[in-house]
Protein backbone atom coordinates (compact mmCIF):
# COMPACT_ATOMS: atom_id res chain seq x y z
CA UNK A 1 0.00 0.00 0.00
CA UNK A 2 1.31 3.45 -0.94
CA UNK A 3 0.58 6.45 1.29
CA UNK A 4 -1.38 9.43 0.07
CA UNK A 5 1.63 11.67 0.75
CA UNK A 6 3.79 9.42 -1.45
CA UNK A 7 1.20 9.61 -4.23
CA UNK A 8 1.20 13.42 -4.04
CA UNK A 9 5.01 13.58 -4.12
CA UNK A 10 4.99 11.25 -7.12
CA UNK A 11 2.94 13.88 -8.96
CA UNK A 12 -0.41 12.11 -8.98
CA UNK A 13 -3.48 14.33 -9.36
CA UNK A 14 -6.38 14.28 -6.89
CA UNK A 15 -8.47 12.37 -9.44
CA UNK A 16 -5.73 9.75 -9.86
CA UNK A 17 -5.38 9.38 -6.09
CA UNK A 18 -9.13 9.03 -5.59
CA UNK A 19 -9.19 6.27 -8.21
CA UNK A 20 -6.63 4.14 -6.28
CA UNK A 21 -8.42 2.84 -3.18
CA UNK A 22 -12.19 2.88 -3.75
CA UNK A 23 -13.07 4.25 -0.30
CA UNK A 24 -11.00 7.47 -0.39
CA UNK A 25 -12.62 10.90 -0.40
CA UNK A 26 -11.12 14.26 -1.38
CA UNK A 27 -11.00 15.37 2.28
CA UNK A 28 -8.78 12.37 3.06
CA UNK A 29 -6.04 13.82 0.84
CA UNK A 30 -5.98 17.23 2.54
CA UNK A 31 -6.14 15.62 6.00
CA UNK A 32 -3.22 13.34 5.14
CA UNK A 33 -1.11 16.28 3.98
CA UNK A 34 -2.07 18.28 7.09
CA UNK A 35 -1.05 15.35 9.33
CA UNK A 36 2.27 14.95 7.47
CA UNK A 37 3.00 18.67 7.83
CA UNK A 38 2.35 18.54 11.58
CA UNK A 39 4.51 15.41 11.96
CA UNK A 40 7.45 17.08 10.19
CA UNK A 41 7.19 20.14 12.44
CA UNK A 42 7.96 17.88 15.41
CA UNK A 43 11.36 16.84 14.01
CA UNK A 44 14.52 18.52 15.19
CA UNK A 45 17.22 18.43 12.57
CA UNK A 46 20.88 18.75 13.51
CA UNK A 47 22.70 21.80 12.18
CA UNK A 48 24.39 21.26 8.85
CA UNK A 49 28.18 20.98 8.78
CA UNK A 50 30.27 21.08 5.64
CA UNK A 51 31.89 17.83 4.49
CA UNK A 52 35.28 19.53 4.26
CA UNK A 53 36.90 22.81 5.04
CA UNK A 54 40.11 24.71 5.50
CA UNK A 55 41.15 27.33 7.99
CA UNK A 56 44.08 29.68 7.66
CA UNK A 57 45.95 31.74 10.16
CA UNK A 58 49.02 33.87 9.61
CA UNK A 59 51.29 30.99 10.66
CA UNK A 60 49.49 27.83 9.52
CA UNK A 61 46.58 26.35 7.68
CA UNK A 62 44.56 23.22 8.28
CA UNK A 63 42.18 21.29 6.03
CA UNK A 64 39.80 18.61 7.24
CA UNK A 65 37.40 16.07 5.82
CA UNK A 66 34.59 14.12 7.45
CA UNK A 67 32.80 11.05 6.22
CA UNK A 68 29.46 11.85 4.65
CA UNK A 69 26.98 8.99 4.23
CA UNK A 70 26.04 8.34 0.64
CA UNK A 71 22.51 9.05 -0.47
CA UNK A 72 20.10 6.29 0.51
CA UNK A 73 22.24 4.83 3.32
CA UNK A 74 20.63 6.74 6.17
Percent of the chain scoring above 70 in pLDDT: 77
**Residue 25 domain boundaries:** 1-68
Residue 74 lies in a domain: no
Whether residue 23 has pLDDT greater than 70: yes
- Give the distance, in angstroms, between the CA of residue 11 and the centroid of all CA atoms in the same chain: 16
Whether residue 38 has pLDDT greater than 90: no
Instruction: Name the residue among 43, 41, 63, 42 with its Cα closest to residue 54.
Output: 63
- Answering whether pTM is above 0.75, one says no
Residue 11 lies in a domain: yes
Residue 73 lies in a domain: no
Considering its fold, how many domains does the chain have in total? 1
Residue 35 lies in a domain: yes
Number of Cβ within a 10 Å radius of residue 52: 10
Amino acid sequence: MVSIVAMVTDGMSVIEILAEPPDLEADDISESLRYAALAVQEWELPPLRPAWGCSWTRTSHRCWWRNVPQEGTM
